[in-house]
Amino acid sequence: MSFSLDAVGLVHPNGHRALQGVSLAAAGGERLAVIGPSGAGKTTLLRVLGAALRPGEGSVRLLDQAPWQLSAPALRGLRSCIGTVHQSPPIAPRLRVVTAVLAGRLGQWSALRALGSLLRPSDLPGAHEALSRLALEDRLFERCDRLSGGQLQRVGIARVLYQRPALLLADEPVSALDPTLADLTLQQLVRQSEATGATLVASLHAVDLALRWFPRIVGMRGGQVVFDRPVGQVDEAMLKALYA
Amino acid sequence: MSASFAAAPPRCLRCWATALAIVIAAAASFAWLAIDYGALFTGESLSLMGRFIAEFFPPDLSAAFLQKTAWGALQTLAVSALGTLLAAAGGALLALPASGRSGAWVQGATRFVLNFLRSVPELVWAALMVLAAGIGPFAGALALALHTTGVLGRLFAESLENAPRAPERALAQSGSGAVAAFAYGSLPLVLPQWVAYTLYRWEMNIRMATVLGFVGGGGLGQLLYFHLSIFQQPQAMTVLAAMFGLVALVDMASARLRRDLGPAHA
Amino acid sequence: MTDPTALRDPAARRRLVGGLAALAIAWPMLQLAGFQPAALFGAGNLQVIGGFLAGFVPPATAPDFLALLAKATLETLAMATAGTALAFLIGAPLAFVTTRALSRSRIGPGPGRVRAAALRQCARSLLMVLRAIPEIVWALIFVRALGLGPAAGVLALAITYGGMLGKVYAEVLESTDTAPARALLESGSGRLAALCYGLLPNCAQELTSYTAYRWECAVRASVVMGFVGAGGLGQLMDQSMKMLNGGEASSILLVFLGLVLLADALSNALRRLLR
């Protein structure tokens, strides 16, 4: 099992209930899309899957481990095997693209190598390869604050591709991209999952993209999983009910 | 007709009472110090002062002494540079706990240390450092380092607190160690500000370094103190002129640099 | 598709050159500044400073020392207050002469403006010269001329702070609304009246605030000047340190820190009082 959530519930500190009785599991190499209206809890779900949020109810198992029972170094090791594409790329603006991409493997590098790479990038070919998959290799040495929103989003994805995680989580990975680039990007994410056997979970606003690229669709609404079906079994009526 | 008359009488009374208290305090201070100003301004003492001042001119402009003075000026610059560099490193190290990254208790303790370093004047530190490292420029550099660490540490910590945490958190979430997450996530955000603060403090430290020599901190200050102690006024005058010239030069250079780099410095 | 082995970081060369340049400057700089961390741990020095710091606890509380301490504290306070007062007497008239807000000849412009401008420039240059030399340098010279004691410190403060007060007063007077003063000058009133009735009501608070801040700085400067013989807490601490008396030094340090806090509180109270 790549991950399994069992009756997970979460209430934010401000009292808002984000997740309620969520049970979800996937085997290694599976690809699922999470869809639903705004506020359905998709981001919270992905953060729980990324061992960034600890649920108040239920149990979580990620990559065959219980993350919140681990020691700090073990948790760090687990986290370095999970890659998250964030909704708005959390990248320091003055960083160059090459450094931002190489930051994907910080979890696997020693502190010395990490600091050295700031001065002299320690894996130029690797960064170049990750960026070329997203048609950004000509921006290798640019500063991130000189990029457009869509380009910056792709840099964030390149970072996760470079990381080669066993569990790939993507929170609205193509929200700032035009349809052509959105297709290219999702294609690359799917290819990565096929090539490395990583599990891919993506939350998407564009339902058509979800239906086109993912064999399994999970619908969320109001913090609960409304349906969890193979794409062939998802019909108009279910989608309408979801977004009503 | 005018708003100034709208001030209520009780407030005005407070102002007058405060002004009176200040005048009394000043008068009491003069009285307490019991400085015999009369004796200071008699014809005899004035002519003595005049002769004392005249002994400063002409300044010693021999090549050998000018070389010595130039060396002293370079030493002062070196002292200020080393002190500021050490302080930047120390400040950066202490800024991390002082910004709350390791918990509230550590933050309080670190802030206390930084405040203490800042409150003790550089000259007092210099006197202490002379005991620890012997007379000479290194004591001056250490004194500047200690005091300026307090100043820069607090400025650095404040800029860290104001910087967004998202980049660093995202890196920690993907398994990065604390040092690497900081270096890739938060450091690029605050580095321009940190450099600006450090350069500004270096400018002020050059001024400070010139006088630290008075208690043994090397450079032009020590030279001035030495020559005044053995009543060699002409040499002292040369050193004074060098101090003045150094500060003026630094002022001009920094004004020029600020104009050139200005807001375009990203 | 670029051949990955041909990738070169454009910033690499610049960083390498910069790094080498920094090293090239760092080495002579360290030599000049006498960088020798080993000196800190040399047996002799370590003994000296270790013994001195060990004496910090407990701080000296012998009654005759405390009496000396009290006297020195009062002397420092008196030095700072007297020095600031003298600085006011020097700076205020100079500001009166320098400030353009009270210039009668600029109205029009009228007669005598060249002479007035020249006079203002002279006064401004005088203020700059007064400010140029740090007060501790003046203190060192005056101690040579007048002997040890607070007189040197008072005069040093008077000169340097006079220059600072004069400059800031003039700027404050120019930056407030000068229309009332101008109106008074235009209707023929004297410059002093124009100051008191036209400018002061608006900027008295700011002027007092800066003066209070200067007084606070004077307290700290008085302690520092004591190290070159100008009396007060500084001279006492210098003596204690020369005798390696850690207990006395720590008492004086504590009193100094308390004094700084007190001065800060007093000056804040004064500023709040006038709001």
Distance from CA of B194 to the nearest CA of C (A): 18
Question: CB distance A115–B180 less than 8 Å?
Answer: yes
Whether the per-residue pLDDT at B185 is higher than 70: the answer is yes
- What is the average per-residue pLDDT within B34-55? 76
Q: Which residues of B touch A48 (CB under 8 A)?
A: none
Distance from CA of C113 to the nearest CA of B (A): 30
Question: CB distance B210–C134 less than 8 Å?
Answer: yes
Question: CB distance B132–C40 less than 8 Å?
Answer: yes
Alpha helix ranges (H) inside C187-245: 191-193, 200-226, 232-242
Cβ–Cβ under 8 Å, residues B217 and B143:
yes
Three-state secondary-structure class, residue C58: coil
Kindly indicate the confidence band of residue B201, based on its pLDDT and cuts at 50, 70 and 90. Answer: very high
d(CA A17, CA A190): 32
Whether the per-residue pLDDT at C190 is higher than 70: the answer is yes
- Judged by a CB distance cut-off of 8 A, whether residue B181 touches chain A is yes
Question: CB distance A77–B181 less than 8 Å?
Answer: no
Distance from CA of B163 to the nearest CA of A (A): 10
Whether the per-residue pLDDT at C222 is higher than 90: the answer is yes
Identify which of B251, B206, B202, B204 has the alpha carbon closest to the alpha carbon of residue B88. B202
Question: CB distance B174–A104 less than 8 Å?
Answer: yes
Q: Give me the residue from A79, A92, A93 closest to B173, CB to CB.
A: A79
Question: CB distance B33–C154 less than 8 Å?
Answer: yes
Report the chain B residue with the minimal C-alpha distance to residue A86: B170
Three-state secondary-structure class, residue A13: coil
Question: CB distance B179–A50 less than 8 Å?
Answer: no
Whether the per-residue pLDDT at C175 is higher than 90: the answer is no
- What is the average per-residue pLDDT within A44-54? 93
Kindly indicate the confidence band of residue B262, based on its pLDDT and cuts at 50, 70 and 90. Answer: low
Question: CB distance A124–C11 less than 8 Å?
Answer: no
Kindly indicate the confidence band of residue B57, based on its pLDDT and cuts at 50, 70 and 90. Answer: confident
Question: CB distance B171–A163 less than 8 Å?
Answer: no
Distance from CA of B32 to the nearest CA of A (A): 60
Q: Among A106, A109, A161, A171, which would you mutate to test the B interface (most chain B Cβ atoms within 10 Å of its Cβ)?
A: A106
Question: CB distance A82–B191 less than 8 Å?
Answer: no
Give the pairing type, strands A57-62 and A3-11. antiparallel
Q: Quick one: pLDDT at residue B40?
A: 67
Question: CB distance B177–A114 less than 8 Å?
Answer: yes
What share of chain A in percent tops pLDDT 90? 84
Whether the per-residue pLDDT at A64 is higher than 60: the answer is yes
Q: Quick one: pLDDT at residue C3?
A: 58
Q: Which residues of A touch C22 (CB under 8 A)?
A: none
d(CA C11, CA B73): 35
Query: pLDDT for A197-214, tens place per residue?
Result: 999 999 999 999 999 999
Whether the per-residue pLDDT at A100 is higher than 90: the answer is yes
Q: Which residues of A touch C1 (CB under 8 A)?
A: 132
Q: Give me the residue from A124, A132, A137 closest to C9, CB to CB.
A: A124
- What is the average per-residue pLDDT within B21-32? 87
- What is the average per-residue pLDDT within C207-213? 89
Report the chain B residue with the minimal C-alpha distance to residue A83: B174
What share of chain C in percent tops pLDDT 90? 41
Question: CB distance C39–B138 less than 8 Å?
Answer: yes
Where is pLDDT greater, at C133 or B184? B184
Q: Is the pTM of this model over 0.80?
A: yes
Whether the per-residue pLDDT at B9 is higher than 50: the answer is no
Q: Quick one: pLDDT at residue B1?
A: 46
Report the neighbours of C using a cutoff of 3 or more CB pairs below 8 angstroms: A, B
Partners of A5 in the β-ladder = A24, A60
d(CA A109, CA A99): 14
Fold of B63-264: MetI-like fold (1.10.3720)
d(CA A17, CA A10): 6
Question: CB distance B180–A163 less than 8 Å?
Answer: no
Whether the per-residue pLDDT at B43 is higher than 90: the answer is no
- Judged by a CB distance cut-off of 8 A, whether residue A121 touches chain C is yes
Distance from CA of B172 to the nearest CA of A (A): 8
Distance from CA of B177 to the nearest CA of A (A): 6
Mean pLDDT of chain C: 88
Question: Residue B134 half-sphere exposure, CB side, CA atoms within 13 Å?
Answer: 14
Q: Which residues of C touch B218 (CB under 8 A)?
A: 33-34
Query: pLDDT for A149-190, tens place per residue?
Result: 999 999 999 999 999 999 999 999 998 899 999 999 999 999
Distance from CA of C244 to the nearest CA of B (A): 9
Domain residue ranges in chain B? 3-54, 63-264
- What is the average per-residue pLDDT within C34-59? 85
Q: Which residues of C touch A95 (CB under 8 A)?
A: none
Whether the per-residue pLDDT at C1 is higher than 60: the answer is no
Second CATH level (architecture) for the domain C60-273? Orthogonal Bundle (1.10)
What share of chain C in percent tops pLDDT 70? 97
Query: Distances in Å between the alpha carbon of C220 and those of B4, C210, C214, C217, C270?
Result: 36, 16, 10, 5, 18
Whether the per-residue pLDDT at C2 is higher than 60: the answer is no
**Torsions phi, psi of A200, nearest 5?**
-120, 125
- Judged by a CB distance cut-off of 8 A, whether residue B226 touches chain A is no
Q: Among C7, C8, C13, which would you mutate to test the A interface (most chain A Cβ atoms within 10 Å of its Cβ)?
A: C7
Whether the per-residue pLDDT at B7 is higher than 50: the answer is no
- Judged by a CB distance cut-off of 8 A, whether residue C23 touches chain A is no
Domain residue ranges in chain C? 60-273
Q: Transcribe C136-198 into DSSP letters.
A: HHHHHHHHHHH-SSHHHHHHHHHHHHHHHHHHHHHHHHHHS--HHHHHHHHTT--HHHIIIII
Whether the per-residue pLDDT at B5 is higher than 70: the answer is no
Query: pLDDT for B101-122, tens place per residue?
Result: 888 899 999 999 999 999 999 9
Q: Quick one: pLDDT at residue A84?
A: 94
Q: Quick one: pLDDT at residue A204?
A: 94
Query: Distances in Å between the alpha carbon of C254 and those of C52, C192, C258?
Result: 16, 45, 6
d(CA A104, CA A160): 6
Q: Give me the residue from C33, C146, C270 closest to B138, CB to CB.
A: C33
Q: Given strand A216-221, what is the order of strands in its sheet? A: A82-85, A167-171, A199-203, A31-35, A216-221, A224-230
Kindly indicate the confidence band of residue B60, based on its pLDDT and cuts at 50, 70 and 90. Answer: confident
d(CA A160, CA A218): 23
Report the chain C residue with the minimal C-alpha distance to residue B219: C33
Q: Quick one: pLDDT at residue C72?
A: 94
Q: Quick one: pLDDT at residue C5?
A: 58
- What is the average per-residue pLDDT within C212-235? 92
